[in-house]
């Protein structure tokens, strides 16, 4: 066993002895990162094409984030929501401006995507209507409320009974959604692109139809932008690709640039349904996390990363398609939220092969690889990965692909 394998084995043993078994045991112990790369305990460097599951929007140790966090923690680290502070106020105002809702919106800050979706769930309850319609395959978190919204029965089953009133319809099926929504429906809850289901992009016009169906029945349209928001798809918010505005937007992941920060944005009447004392969180709107988020937003804007992300995502899709590899069924996504769907359940093997070559990717499904790299990924490194992907897939498939 090499020294690298020994170090990783030791870390795996310590993990099993100290961490609850809610995750698989990690194969690699990471100790540092810079830009789009991370380094393990033995000095091996990897191109990080997962970005902490779409979290590291500016990569690792970005100077804008580290400076903002260092300056803020040296001034004011935490105050609770009994007091206001400039980073939280400025971030809320900025998010409302980026979402295009201005004075018509209000923001609730929390710590994660699950918490943002819990807040959205409670907003829906405050309409006084009992029903919520979500989508099969959708993923909205693992707390009990967000899990009830999640359209994946295998994740729900061990924790039933869950909060009631939630039904699920096929994602992308306008007729099914229209049939399920009526005067008793409080809200429709959707992801603009289903991330954990395998980066599933809905048919053209689906979200616009969802907006129309919600309006016709007096229901809220809640869009979970936890994975798609803050530039991930080449827009500040994925809903902006479709020319609509939802009633509630939930955010997390890339918002904090690596720090735990979530947000629930209410628009119009949804901004005022939760009253004083009806919802709260101790750490929501933490000054340090808000300072990091402001640095993320400023950098995306100043460096033109929205345009870069939109262009690079299309280039990666086209390059993978040009491989014409027999293991590949489809390449899909938007911006830098991408999936390579395979013809067989070889995604876990492909992840191991990629890791051995210095790439970190994710088997979001047994037959699907997910890419959610930092938004600063450059074209050369993307090309290097696509070049090596052919060999990765051939090895995972047993050496039968084209090289």
* 228 token code pair: 């798609």
* 224 marked ligand binding residue: yes
Phi, psi of 182 (to 5 degrees): -145, -165
Longest CA pairwise span in the chain (Å):
65
* 71 marked ligand binding residue: no
Phi, psi of 282 (to 5 degrees): -60, -45
* 139 marked ligand binding residue: yes
* 121 marked ligand binding residue: no
Q: How many CA atoms lie within 13 A of 108 on its CB side?
A: 31
Q: How many CA atoms lie within 13 A of 53 on its CB side?
A: 13
Task: Report whether the peptide linkage leading into residue 205 is cis, meaning its omega lies within 30 degrees of zero.
Answer: no
CA 148 vs CA 139, 151, 260, 352: distances in Å: 10, 8, 23, 33
* 97 marked ligand binding residue: no
Q: Is the distance from CB of 176 to CB of 143 less than 8 angstroms?
A: no
Residues contributing to the annotated binding site for pyridoxal 5'-phosphate: 139, 224-227, 282
Residues contributing to the annotated binding site: 139, 142, 224-227, 281-282
Residues contributing to the annotated binding site for N(2)-acetyl-L-ornithine: 142, 281
């Amino acid at each position: 066993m090499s020294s690298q394998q020994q170090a990783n084995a030791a870390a795996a043993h310590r993990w099993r002895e100290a961490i609850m078994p809610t995750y698989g045991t990690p194969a690699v112990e990471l100790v540092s990162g810079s830009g789009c790369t991370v380094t393990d305990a033995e000095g091996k460097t990897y191109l990080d094409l997962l970005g902490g599951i779409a979290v590291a929007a500016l990569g690792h140790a970005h100077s804008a984030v580290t400076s903002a966090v260092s300056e803020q923690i040296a001034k004011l680290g935490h105050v609770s929501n009994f007091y206001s502070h400039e980073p939280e106020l400025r971030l809320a105002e900025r998010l409302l401006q980026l979402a295009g809702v201005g004075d018509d919106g209000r923001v609730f800050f929390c710590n994660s995507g699950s918490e943002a979706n819990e807040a959205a769930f409670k907003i829906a309850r405050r309409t006084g209507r009992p029903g919520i319609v979500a989508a099969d395959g959708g993923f909205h978190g693992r707390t009990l409320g967000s899990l009830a919204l999640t359209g994946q029965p295998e994740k729900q089953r061990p924790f039933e009974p869950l909060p009631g009133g939630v039904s699920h319809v096929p994602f992308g099926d306008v007729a099914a959604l229209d049939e399920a929504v009526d005067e008793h429906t409080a809200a429709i809850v959707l992801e603009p692109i289903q991330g954990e289901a395998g980066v599933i992009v809905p048919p053209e016009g689906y979200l616009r139809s969802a907006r129309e169906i919600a309006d016709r029945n007096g229901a809220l349209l809640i869009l979970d932008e936890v994975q798609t928001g803050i530039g991930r798809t080449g827009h500040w918010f994925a809903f902006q690709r479709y020319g609509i505005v939802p009633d509630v937007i939930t955010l997390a992941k890339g918002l904090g640039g690596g720090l735990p920060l979530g947000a629930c944005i209410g628009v119009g009447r949804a901004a005022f349904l939760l009253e004083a004392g009806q919802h709260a969180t101790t750490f929501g709107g933490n000054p340090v996390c808000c300072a990091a988020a402001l640095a993320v937003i400023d950098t995306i804007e100043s460096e033109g990363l929205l345009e870069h992300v939109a262009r690079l995502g299309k280039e990666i899709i086209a390059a993978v398609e040009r491989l014409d590899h027999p293991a590949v069924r489809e390449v899909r996504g938007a911006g830098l939220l991408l999936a390579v769907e395979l013809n067989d359940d070889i995604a876990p093997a492909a992840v191991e092969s990629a890791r051995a070559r210095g790439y970190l990717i994710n088997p979001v499904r047994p037959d699907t690889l997910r890419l959610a790299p930092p938004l600063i990924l450059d074209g050369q490194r993307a090309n290097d990965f696509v070049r090596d992907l052919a060999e990765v897939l051939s090895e995972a498939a047993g050496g039968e692909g084209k090289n």
